């Protein structure tokens, strides 16, 4: 299969995000994409590990916003693009747990790890992990994790899927601007998983889980919640996690 973006596929690597971080020559190549059939140290948000077996899809690509940007805004675009294409592919109702987990009926289908690399803060790496099959999902996660196969009873070809996802990513990210346009904020709040209101916040170096009513996102892609007194509380990507 041929791609309209630079693409390599590795048999095994520690993490595709780490691979791009370690190859600065890729940072300035738009949408340089690296897939690994197997990751030995896949990384998730908040320092968690991401386990994906050989049958699943794990890849990362470079994104260079037109100007120095906010990570929170990039994560919103990436989440919307992924939700949109997966919905078109499987036809199911998919939601986004802020900032960009893709959720089907309360279970996680895909996750995105967005990281800035140290080069004037203008280069970004976006890593996507998508569960295609159930075979690598540990039994104890059965209530919290799902796969494309489980929700649509179909098998998907990983390379073809990657190509479709990248085309949608490029479509969305080609319109990337901060502050976020109103239509992006509306699209996000339309598909936001409001049941996922248990927000973990970093306080004094510790992660504390608190329930907040979720209001939506602001024009920087930050989460807008309410504190117990009813005042708005803004949460940014780097200070939030979700319950295991």
| 129 binds ligand BTN, rule: CB under 6 A | yes
| Residues of span 136-155 touching ligand BTN by CB under 6 A | none
Contact range with ligand BTN by CB under 6 A, out of 25-33, 126-134, 160-168, 176-184: 126-134
Residue 58 sits in the site that holds ligand BTN (CB under 6 A): yes
Distance CA 214, CA 97 (A): 11
Please count the residues of this chain forming the interface with ligand BTN, following the rule CB under 6 A: 21
Distance CA 89, CA 84 (A): 9
- The residue (of 41 and 68) whose beta carbon lies closer to ligand BTN is 41
Instruction: Identify the CA nearest to 158 among candidates 121, 133, 188.
Output: 133
What phi and psi values does residue 138 have, to the nearest 5 degrees?
Answer: -60, 145
User: Helix, strand, coil shares of the chain as percentages rounded to 5?
Assistant: 30, 30, 40
Q: What is the SS3 assignment for 239?
A: helix
Among 60, 146, 163, 222, binds ligand BTN (CB under 6 A): 60
Is residue 50 involved in binding ligand BTN (CB under 6 A)?
A: yes
- Tracing tokens 């791009």 back to the chain, one arrives at 20
C-alpha triplet 189, 194, 195: angle, nearest 5°: 165
Residue choice 8, 10, 38, 44 for contact with ligand BTN (CB under 6 A) = 44
Among 21, 33, 42, 90, the residue binding ligand BTN under the rule CB under 6 A is 42
Q: Which is nearer to ligand BTN, 101 or 168 (CB)?
A: 101
Establish if 21 lies at the interface with ligand BTN (CB under 6 A).
Answer: no
CA-wise closest residue to 86 among 65, 75, 98, 100: 100
Is residue 43 within the footprint of ligand BTN (CB under 6 A)?
yes
CB within 8 Å of 194: residues ≥ 6 apart? 214
Site stretch for ligand BTN (CB under 6 A), options 50-58, 80-88, 147-155, 175-183: 50-58
For ligand BTN, the binding residues (CB under 6 A) are 15-17, 39, 42-45, 48, 50, 52, 58-60, 101, 111-113, 127-129
């Amino acid at each position: 299969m041929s791609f309209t973006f630079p693409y390599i596929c590795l048999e095994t690597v520690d993490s595709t995000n780490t691979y791009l971080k370690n190859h600065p020559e890729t940072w300035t190549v738009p949408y340089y994409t690296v897939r690994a059939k197997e990751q030995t140290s896949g990384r998730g948000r908040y320092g968690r590990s991401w386990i994906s077996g050989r049958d699943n899809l794990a890849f990362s690509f470079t994104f260079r916003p037109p100007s120095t940007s906010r990570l929170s805004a990039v994560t919103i675009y990436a989440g919307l693009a992924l939700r949109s294409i997966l919905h078109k592919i499987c036809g199911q109702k998919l939601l986004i747990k802020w900032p960009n987990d893709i959720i089907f009926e309360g279970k996680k289908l895909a996750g995105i790890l967005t990281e800035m690399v140290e080069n004037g803060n203008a280069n970004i790496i976006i890593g996507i992990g998508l569960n295609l099959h159930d075979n690598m999902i540990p039994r104890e996660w059965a209530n919290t994790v799902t796969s494309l196969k489980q929700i649509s009873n179909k098998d998907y070809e990983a390379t073809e899927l990657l190509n479709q996802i990248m085309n949608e990513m490029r479509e969305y990210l080609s319109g990337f601007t901060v502050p976020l346009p109103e239509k992006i904020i509306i699209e996000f709040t339309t598909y936001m998983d409001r049941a996922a209101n248990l927000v973990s916040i970093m306080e004094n170096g510790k992660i504390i889980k608190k329930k907040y009513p979720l209001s939506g996102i602001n024009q920087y892609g930050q989460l807008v919640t309410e504190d117990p007194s009813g005042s708005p509380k803004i949460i940014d990507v780097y200070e939030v996690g979700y319950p295991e």
